[in-house]
Homo-oligomer: A and B are copies of this chain.
């Protein structure tokens, strides 16, 4: 990984000047929409509109051709019909522009004619301009003031997570959904058909990027398998790479081909890639987010012993099943610890063997505190999961029942206090119990509480299965990394 990608890609992620080719006063056109989104997002650099048919575009300096722009341009965004793209890219190269993103579709994914156009673009790129796309939504980099085509409302603040994706749809869905879980992104790159800049270039860049701590990706295929493999090994030693690979089934592979012209590859080959590089395999958008949240809040964890504290016996059974199915362990407590816990929980209808059943979903706060502290003092578990206790309540109850309101607030604070006191990871499971359209206020309370826990460093999950899988993914990464570091360069051969 010799090249300095930070320097090479700086004009693309932090453009001081930006030409939108295919810009339009008409918001129904792609380029018109992109321009509006960019302005509304708050791009602070110099912005040029390029369109030979329009002269008055949103009050910007407008040029017929990119070559007419008198100053230098860092980034060109190209949003013209596919057949016009190769000529435009030539003009950009001639103008000395070093980076471009092509939003237009209609290339290799669309058939032979498109393939010819894309080959032409790639040839031009090789002569000195780095190109993201075509068939993509482009780049979101809040610190660079730029956003993707549908990314008008994405957060303006940056964060430690990067996401590279062949799918434009996920380029907007992932940061959108993640935002409610407190996750912020350094960069999101929708790179589409990858005619020039590909997943390897982007991985190198994000590896070097000091803003990025966790790398996430949705991929349908890779352009250069051996390079990707070697690179992934190297990157994973420094930063976790959470990778969702789409297109494993026959139908999925066919869809990938018509989506981004990707060759998906055999699942068995990918199994080996995950095993030998240390990349974290996820199989859905939800798992990608869940795992990211674990990395953001739990730190380096290598221990698989979990204590589950919940308010019900069946929930404990399901929790133990879910944990042990993904390779965590829910160890039986010592007789001594069981004895201590038995003195705390109700005499009947509870359990102290692990999972701990505190007898109901709304235990007295002091009881929950004593249980959590007793378990963590004993010290034989690595992580505590607080499972489906009833922390959230409606303002209705909060107003009408001040005692219950006080108890609710106290109960909600116990996991945070305990985590801070023992400095051990505590995960929260808070499902959507009130599912009806008439219960959104309760859902609002649940979400506010989620914000509170995330702000205190306690990751929150919608089900215990998902919490367990995210934790197992986290531990698996650090354990594989240890093994690979100790086996020297080249990894687990």
What are the residues of chain B within 8 A of A315 when measuring CB–CB? 167, 169-170
A167 near B252 (CB under 8 angstroms)? no
Decide yes or no whether A229 CB sits under 8 A from chain B: no
A313 near B259 (CB under 8 angstroms)? yes
Decide yes or no whether A67 CB sits under 8 A from chain B: no
B433 near A440 (CB under 8 angstroms)? no
B179 near A318 (CB under 8 angstroms)? no
Given that A255-B353, A355-B255 are known contacts, is A320 also in contact with B249, CB under 8 Å in the complex?
Answer: yes
Instruction: Across the interface, name the chain B residue whose C-beta is closest to A220.
Output: B317
What are the residues of chain B within 8 A of A254 when measuring CB–CB? 320, 332, 353
B252 near A285 (CB under 8 angstroms)? no
- Residue among A178, A331, A447 having the largest count of chain B Cβ atoms under 10 Å: A447
Give the interface size bracket for A toward B: 35 or more
B324 near A180 (CB under 8 angstroms)? no
A317 near B256 (CB under 8 angstroms)? yes
What are the residues of chain B within 8 A of A348 when measuring CB–CB? 81-82, 104-106, 110
A324 near B249 (CB under 8 angstroms)? yes
Within 8 Å by CB of A168, from B178, B314, B444, lies: B314
Instruction: Across the interface, name the chain B residue whose C-beta is closest to A314.
Output: B167
What are the residues of chain B within 8 A of A167 when measuring CB–CB? 312-315, 317
What are the residues of chain B within 8 A of A81 when measuring CB–CB? 348
What are the residues of chain B within 8 A of A435 when measuring CB–CB? 176-181, 447
Minimum distance in angstroms from A472 CB to a CB of chain B: 13
Decide yes or no whether A402 CB sits under 8 A from chain B: no
Q: How far is the CA of A463 from the CA of B466 in the complex (A)?
A: 14
Decide yes or no whether A165 CB sits under 8 A from chain B: yes
What are the residues of chain B within 8 A of A353 when measuring CB–CB? 254-255, 258
Minimum distance in angstroms from A398 CB to a CB of chain B: 16
Q: How far is the CA of A266 from the CA of B168 in the complex (A)?
A: 46
What are the residues of chain B within 8 A of A143 when measuring CB–CB? none
| Residues 163 to 196 of chain A near chain B (Cβ within 8 Å) | 165-170, 173, 176-181
What are the residues of chain B within 8 A of A319 when measuring CB–CB? 255
Q: How far is the CA of A342 from the CA of B465 in the complex (A)?
A: 41
Q: How far is the CA of A406 from the CA of B27 in the complex (A)?
A: 19
Decide yes or no whether A74 CB sits under 8 A from chain B: no
What are the residues of chain B within 8 A of A312 when measuring CB–CB? 167-170
What are the residues of chain B within 8 A of A252 when measuring CB–CB? 317-318, 320-321, 324
Decide yes or no whether A323 CB sits under 8 A from chain B: yes
Decide yes or no whether A59 CB sits under 8 A from chain B: no
Q: How far is the CA of A104 from the CA of B349 in the complex (A)?
A: 8
Decide yes or no whether A72 CB sits under 8 A from chain B: no
Instruction: Across the interface, name the chain B residue whose C-beta is closest to A451.
Output: B437
What are the residues of chain B within 8 A of A322 when measuring CB–CB? 284
B314 near A218 (CB under 8 angstroms)? yes
What are the residues of chain B within 8 A of A256 when measuring CB–CB? 317
Indicate with 1 or 0, residue by residue over A453-470, a CB within 8 angstroms of chain B CB atoms.
000000000010100000
Given that A254-B353, A317-B255 are known contacts, is A440 also in contact with B436, CB under 8 Å in the complex?
Answer: no
Decide yes or no whether A299 CB sits under 8 A from chain B: no
A440 near B441 (CB under 8 angstroms)? yes
Minimum distance in angstroms from A118 CB to a CB of chain B: 13
Q: Can you list 18 A-B pairs with a CB-CB distance of less than 8 A?
A: A135-B349, A167-B315, A168-B312, A168-B313, A173-B433, A176-B434, A177-B433, A179-B436, A180-B435, A180-B439, A220-B317, A246-B318, A248-B321, A249-B325, A255-B319, A258-B313, A258-B353, A440-B440
A: residues with CB less than 8 A from B are 81-82, 104-106, 109-110, 135, 165-170, 173, 176-181, 218, 220, 246-252, 254-256, 258-260, 284-286, 311-325, 329-332, 347-349, 351, 353-355, 357, 361, 431-437, 439-441, 443-444, 447-448, 450-451, 463, 465
Q: Known pairs A180-B436, A247-B321, A437-B447. 16 more at Cβ < 8 A?
A: A104-B348, A167-B312, A167-B315, A170-B315, A176-B433, A177-B431, A179-B436, A180-B437, A180-B439, A218-B314, A252-B317, A252-B324, A255-B355, A259-B357, A437-B450, A440-B440
Give me the 4 closest cross-chain CB pairs, A-B, nearest first: A167-B314, A180-B435, A169-B312, A259-B313
